[in-house]
Amino acid sequence: MQLAIELPDELGQQVLQHGNVQQFVQRAIERMLSEEKRSFELLNDLMDGLPEIACLENKDPLAIQQGMRDESLDKNKRHFLNRIRNIKPVKAPFSSEEMVAMLREGKEQQLIDAQTSHGK
């Protein structure tokens, strides 16, 4: 089989320095393919050596992940609701609507000053 390839000039010059270019390229390709095969075999050997985890056998990993996510969300919701229940009411010189309007108008300092003087 004939195969045509393009090489960068510098690499092509290095290849041409060998006496038998065809034999050199053939050996290089064989070595690369052999190394690739060995890498694949090593990975397979490594995977075969991993312990089996019985609790995950015949389980859907996506379902496990979604269950863990849902459990975490539920825990966070409960925590948030508990925190809200523990908030003590405070007296303020403005209603929440008035405070939002003042913030939107850039009157933060007025809010701070009013709260400071209201608390005295």
Q: What is the pLDDT of residues 30-50, one digit of tens each?
A: 999 999 999 989 888 888 877
Q: Are 60 and 68 in contact (CB under 8 A)?
A: no
Is residue 17 a part of any domain in this protein?
A: yes
What's the whole-model pTM score?
0.38
Is residue 106 a part of any domain in this protein?
A: yes
Nearest to 99 by CA among 89, 110, 88: 110
Is residue 42 a part of any domain in this protein?
A: yes
d(Cα 16, Cα 22) in Å, to the nearest integer?
Answer: 10
d(Cα 92, Cα 115) in Å, to the nearest integer?
Answer: 7
Average pLDDT, the chain: 87
Is residue 10 a part of any domain in this protein?
A: yes
How many structural domains does the chain have? 2
Domain that holds residue 98: 87-118
Q: Label residue 120 by pLDDT band (50, 70, 90).
A: low
Neighbours of 75 (CB within 10 A): 10
Is residue 64 a part of any domain in this protein?
A: no
Is residue 56 a part of any domain in this protein?
A: no
Confidence at residue 87, expressed as pLDDT on a 0 to 100 scale: 87
Q: Are 56 and 65 in contact (CB under 8 A)?
A: no
Is residue 65 a part of any domain in this protein?
A: no
Is residue 58 a part of any domain in this protein?
A: no
